[in-house]
């Protein structure tokens, strides 16, 4: 949901996304799941191309970013739903393809999902405390956790937070190099 993902702590951003959802379409949800294009690309390596009939496009792991960017930028105007519609069509078709996979390929998908959670390409926020605590204990909640190390010790947190205010996805094409001297 646009303009809700400003905080590096996914728990904060998820609550903000829920607030927007409630205000815009009067809908309350049980939680929020964030998935980025990286995990979709990995899934496409297993399923093979996914055809999006409404767009007359075959989406592969190799062209996913470019086609998504083209849909987001082509004939863009403030308030446009093109990108959201495209990603909705892609996710529905990708899920359909995953459901058709054999058992071995479904195990590959499961492994990719676990890797996606571990690498924070998938993040989860739930209102129910017990399942959310389980997710958080695995490091899958997207929280920013301030380290502690006890008496006589100082722990600090360093992280890169990036925001693109240009309404484009140029971030994908930027190479980054960060050096930290401690």
Q: Which pLDDT tens digit goes with each residue over 114-166?
A: 999 999 999 999 999 999 999 999 999 999 888 888 888 888 888 887 777 76
> What is the phi/psi pair of residue 53, to 5°?
-60, -40
pTM: 0.81
Q: What is the DSSP string of 29-57?
A: -SEEEEE-HHHHHHHHHHH--EEEGGGTE
Residue-averaged pLDDT of the chain: 89
Residue boundaries of the structural domains of the chain: 10-173
């Amino acid at each position: 949901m646009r303009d809700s993902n400003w905080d590096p702590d996914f728990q904060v951003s998820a609550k903000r996304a829920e607030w927007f959802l409630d205000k815009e379409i009067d809908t309350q949800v049980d939680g929020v799941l964030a998935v980025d294009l990286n995990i979709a690309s990995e899934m496409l390596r297993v399923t093979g191309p996914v055809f999006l009939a409404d767009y007359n496009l075959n989406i592969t792991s190799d062209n996913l970013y470019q086609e998504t960017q083209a849909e987001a930028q082509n004939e863009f105007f403030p308030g446009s739903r093109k990108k959201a519609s495209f990603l909705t069509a892609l996710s529905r078709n990708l899920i359909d393809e995953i459901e058709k996979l054999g058992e071995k390929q479904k195990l590959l998908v499961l492994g990719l999902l676990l890797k996606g959670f571990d690498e924070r390409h998938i993040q989860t926020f739930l209102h129910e405390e017990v399942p959310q605590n389980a997710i958080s204990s695995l490091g899958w909640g997207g929280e920013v956790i301030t380290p502690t190390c006890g008496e006589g010790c100082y722990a600090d947190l360093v992280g890169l937070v990036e925001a693109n205010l240009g309404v484009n996805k140029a971030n994908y094409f930027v190479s980054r190099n960060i050096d930290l001297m401690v």
